Amino acid sequence: SEKNNFFFFFWRRYTLTILEVAGYYHIGEGKLRMMIDQNPHEDFYVMNGNRALIKREKFERYLDQATAV
């Protein structure tokens, strides 16, 4: 069906939703929202209206530099 044409693997997508990131990286949704609230000037996310989308590669680099999550 046409719906299947829009499926992308996580590792190829530029942005992920908070729910997708929580499942993929095993970090809770609340923790992710707190990370965004506490780091308003970081570039690992972008706001689409009131929805936060995580920039996958930049988030991975952010995690690489973090000593604790």
pLDDT for res 2: 52
Instruction: Name the stretches of the chain with pLDDT < 50.
Output: 1
pLDDT for res 34: 97
Bridge partners, 23 (sequence order): none
Nearest one of 59, 53, 58, 63 to 18, comparing CA atoms: 53
CA–CA gap between residue 50 and residue 19 (Å, rounded)? 15
CA–CA gap between residue 11 and residue 31 (Å, rounded)? 22
pLDDT for res 53: 98
